[in-house]
Amino acid sequence: MLTFDNVIATLPDNQTLSFAMNAGMYNENYAPIGYTVIDGKEIRALNTKEGGGNFHLLPNGVLWWDKSGKVKITESNALNEQLESGKAQPWYATQSGPMLVINNEIHPQFNSDSTSLKLRNGAGVCSDGSIQFVNSDEPVTFYQFAALFKDDLNCANALFLDGGIASALYAPSIATHDKKEMGVMIGLVENKN
């Protein structure tokens, strides 16, 4: 699909894209580099390897839904154990990293004195069971971004989806429509009334 416009063009006339953002790391061919599940079919295996870059700033994690629609964000090694035991059966999933908040704790490698400021987007599963998507409109540090999810949104688990030049958002309710190409997207499609 690569762009929000391409997604919109493929929707039936009775549907509309209400919200979308980039949703994980991808390679130069726009293919996901982490665990990806669509309609219960594994497209890419869980990636628990070490390496460079944000994806490998461990622990990383997975944003996923089961078939009933219950949403979770789970640290990758914990999800791997759940997959092996049959306790997790994702219907949709995207892996990214690093985790921002892990069981109510900010990622242990984030420094409150960091000066690495970038645009960032992420998702959190919060105490009320909701999922909150955030796209910063100003550069922030990982620590500041994680603190927003933990302290202001009350999200026990939150995941960095991407950032910098790859950060993209489609939100007509706030007149935002990025035109960037990306490999992994998440969105809300609604039926028109």
In this prediction, residue 18 carries a pLDDT of 96
Q: How many domains does the chain have?
A: 1
Helix or strand holding residue 64 (H, E): strand 61-66
Relative to beta strand 176-177, strand 169-171 is antiparallel
Nearest Cα to Cα of residue 117 among 98, 141, 145, 143: 141
Domain boundaries, position 130? 4-191
In this prediction, residue 15 carries a pLDDT of 96
In this prediction, residue 163 carries a pLDDT of 81
In this prediction, residue 83 carries a pLDDT of 96
Tokens 């935002």 found at: 176
Nearest Cα to Cα of residue 162 among 189, 132, 188, 142: 142
Residue ranges in the chain modelled with pLDDT below 50 = none
In this prediction, residue 1 carries a pLDDT of 64
In this prediction, residue 65 carries a pLDDT of 95
SS3 content of the chain, % helix, strand, coil (to 5): 20, 40, 40
The string of DSSP codes covering 98-146 is -EEEETTEE-TT--TT----B-EEEEEEETTS-EEEEE-SS-B-HHHHH
Contact 37, 91 (CB under 8 A): yes
Model pTM score: 0.93
